[in-house]
Amino acid sequence: MKLALAQTLAAAVIAFAAVPALAADYTLSINTALTTSDPLYKGLESLRDEVAKQSNGALEIKLFPNSQLGPDEDVLEQARAGAPVAVVVDGGRLAVFQNEFGILGAPYLATGYDGIRKVVTSPLFEEWAKKLHDGSQLQVLSFNWWQGERQLWTNKEIKTPDDLKGVRMRTPGAPVWTKSIGAMGATPTPMPYADVYSALQQNVIDAVEAQLPAGQGSKLFEVTKYLTKTHHINLITGLVTSGPWFDSLPADLQTLLRDEALKAGDVASYGTRDSLDRIEAELKKEGMTVEDIDTAPFEKATAGVYGELGYGDLHEQVKQLFAQ
């Protein structure tokens, strides 16, 4: 009798173990060009874990580093079509859908994270986000994913804008980026970030501008010699998903997802801030020459970009937010 009971219990345990876990009601796939070693990626992991916990498994987030789902622009188009995907993306790429976002990538707009955070959590920014949703079917979950300030990675010493003459520099293809890099003196050369390492190896480009965590993560120290700290763009990015997909979520999950995205953005951004000194020291150990320079000539050279892009009045509104 006892043997039979034991066999029955054992069979029940095996049968239970064979039952697959219940699938989530909703799944969101997040694409990013960053590597898993990037501090910002830790924020994405935090978002994944907290959303699963707070939703009791109803909403699952899957992460795809190294642009596994494709270039940012392609993922944005998938999102606009209603696919359950999201991407960590800068304002320059969103400006093609809603022009105001482009100012977030304009040169010397802000210093550090706390200042720019005032802008992307303001009522003014929410107006832009609503226009983006209604006009282009893209939903901002949060836009407080700070990746650091962009610097120059070159194979020649750079002191002034004149030193960049004739230098083919990779940059994203959005107008705010190409005009800013052109104004700094270089020849802007748009291409996907995933292609940068091989393009430098093959002399397709001469240089790249990128923030420290991304540059270290993609091993730019192996294909460049100088890191020049121009601080020319304060890279704030956002987590953007499909408007139609987001609208299909129950109201409580919509609120949960946006709240947790904002919290995770802070985790990512302060993690980035705390990593910068360490990364710079490690780049020096790898043999890179890291140079602090007078950025005033670069600020002067790029000052006209706001007017060229039609951001003069908007720039004044944004500067008022910094003063609050």
Q: Which tokens sit at 260?
A: 């947790």
Per-position DSSP letters for 248-308, written without gaps between them: HS-HHHHHHHHHHHHHHHHHHHHHHHHHHHHHHHHHHHTT-EEEE---HHHHHHHTTHHHH
Identify the pLDDT of residue 2. Answer: 39
Distance CA 323, CA 8 (A): 72
Distance CA 101, CA 175 (A): 12
Q: How far is CA 266 from CA 42, 92, 274, 288, in A?
A: 11, 21, 12, 30
Backbone φ and ψ of 24, nearest 5° = -65, 150
Residues of the chain with CATH 3.40.190.170: 2-90+98-104+121-146+235-278, 151-232+281-323
Q: Tokens 């239970």 map to which residue? A: 16
What class, spelled out in words, does domain 151-232+281-323 have in CATH?
Answer: alpha beta
Q: How many CB atoms lie within 10 A of CB 289?
A: 13
Q: Which residues of the chain have pLDDT under 70?
A: 1-23
Identify the pLDDT of residue 186. Answer: 98
Identify the pLDDT of residue 323. Answer: 78
Identify the pLDDT of residue 322. Answer: 81
Helix (H) or strand (E) holding 72: helix 72-80
Give the angle subtended at the CA of 286 by the CAs of 225 and 184, to the nearest 5°.
Answer: 30
Q: How many CB atoms lie within 10 A of CB 298?
A: 25
Nearest-CA neighbor of 94 among 126, 148, 138, 124? 138
Nearest-CA neighbor of 38 among 216, 187, 182, 171? 216
Identify the pLDDT of residue 22. Answer: 53
pTM for the whole thing? 0.85
Distance CA 130, CA 135 (A): 8
Distance CA 245, CA 253 (A): 12
What class, spelled out in words, does domain 2-90+98-104+121-146+235-278 have in CATH?
Answer: alpha beta
pLDDT tens-place string over residues 131-162: 999 999 999 999 999 999 999 999 999 999 99
Backbone φ and ψ of 194, nearest 5° = -65, -20
CB 59 within 8 A of CB 28: yes
Nearest-CA neighbor of 161 among 141, 137, 181? 181
